[in-house]
Amino acid sequence: MTNNIKVQRAIHNMTQADLAEKISVSRQTINAMEKNKYVPSTVLALKISKLFKVLVEDLFILEEND
């Protein structure tokens, strides 16, 4: 699975730390997600998409090997 968190973050002009604070996780979590090293829970995915006002499907994209 891949995601557009970094792009959305740039659009909203947020740092990793800003986003982390808004959804009350650590900055490492954001970093790990952007590097595709961590797949967030459904709850966290929904929180992020709500914050950026986009659909979860537009933020997180399945890849062929998923």
Footprint of other proteins (CB under 8 A): 15-16, 20, 24-26, 28-29, 31-32, 35, 38, 40-41, 44
Residue type, 37: K
Phi, psi at 3, each rounded to 5°: -150, 165
Q: Minimum Å distance from CB 51 to other proteins?
A: 15
CA distance 42 to 19: 17
Nearer Cβ to other proteins (64/66): 66
Q: Minimum Å distance from CB 24 to other proteins?
A: 7
